[in-house]
Amino acid sequence: MMTVLEVLNAATSYLQKQGVESPRLHAEHLLAHSLGMPRRMDLYLAFDRPLGEKDRAPLRDLVKRRSEGVPLQHLLGTVEFLGREFLCDARGLIPRPETEELVELVLKSASSGLSFLDVGTGSGVIALSLALEKPEARVTACDFLPQALALAAENRARHGLEARVGLIESDLLASVEGSFDVVVANLPYIPTAEISGLSREVLQDPISALDGGDDGLRLIERLADQLPKHLSPGGFLALEIGHDQSEKVLSMLNDRGFQEVLAHSDHQERNRFVTARK
């Protein structure tokens, strides 16, 4: 028999030796998950609890998979986004903290009673978060991957938004009808040549959700060309981009006649967002 604390220390040591970042934090999440605890902090009230082999076996498998590069979010099956829990697996991109900032930027800039379109929705966290924060709004989300839309649909049901958020299978805006007051997109923006150098955890995401073509801007440029028919007059556009792409995206949107084209920095003072109006 081993206590919870002894098992936690052993898992932390193993993850550390395998080069996993934040090994203690990850060990806590995995142990709490394997024991069915709703919060990892519950472990601190159970350090002296004895764990037999039957209790430890599930953790052993989780720790091994984490050491092999399977993302923590995939092992837990969920991810927190703007204080809410969403399902998360290999069907969609794992939401990053920067994308939370993108949603916050949209919420600050959009008034009530608007229609929203989330392009390349993946797991649906952007569209669903906007719908939850804007109960009066009409929200639509699109993606060209059926498996991503299936994950988004599961998250939509999880938050009871089936009647308020529409999901469309579409290559960018090809199958989207109508115009919207706000279009938001976190499209793939990593140049193809840089994909192989990404961390093993990031490479667990769908490659199609990462690869932005030769310069990383292929899909963003296609979206900019399609937007005039789908963005209402005075409508608001918000994009998440790579940290070194703002000048090119600003020029791209200005060349296409967009107004009020601005770059915005993230919490690390990197230009990660661009907004514009039609």
Per the prediction, the chain carries an average pLDDT of: 96
Mean pLDDT in residue range 76-88: 97
pLDDT score recorded for residue 248: 98
Q: Is residue 244 classed exposed, middle or buried when 0-12, 13-18 and 19+ CB atoms within 10 A define those classes?
A: exposed
What pLDDT does residue 32 have? 97
CATH code of the region 78-277: 3.40.50.150
State pLDDT tens for residues 163-211. Answer: 999 999 999 999 999 999 999 999 999 999 999 999 999 999 999 999 9
User: Residue 157, SS3?
Assistant: helix
Tell me: the pLDDT tens digits for 113-151? 699 999 999 999 999 999 999 999 999 999 999 999 999
Q: 3-state DSSP call for residue 182?
A: strand
Could you give the residue range(s) of every CATH 3.40.50.150 domain in the chain?
A: 78-277
> What is the value of pTM for the model shown?
0.93
Average pLDDT for 231-248: 96
Q: Is the pLDDT of residue 111 over 80?
A: no
For 115, residues 6+ apart whose C-beta sits below 8 A from its C-beta are: 137, 138, 139, 140, 179, 180, 181, 182, 232
Arithmetic mean of pLDDT, 229-251? 96
Question: pLDDT per residue over 23-72, tens digit each?
Answer: 999 999 999 999 999 899 999 999 999 999 999 999 999 999 999 999 99
For residue 110, what pLDDT band results from cuts at 50, 70 and 90?
confident
* Phi, psi at 266, each rounded to 5°: -90, -170
Which segments of the chain belong to CATH 1.10.8.10?
2-68
Give the C-alpha separation, 235 to 229, whole Å. Answer: 11
Residue 112: pLDDT over 70: no
Q: What is the mean pLDDT of residues 92-114?
A: 91
Give the closest residue to 107 by CA, choosing from 121, 127, 80: 127
CATH of domain 2-68: 1.10.8.10
Given a cut of 90, whether residue 6 has pLDDT beyond it is yes
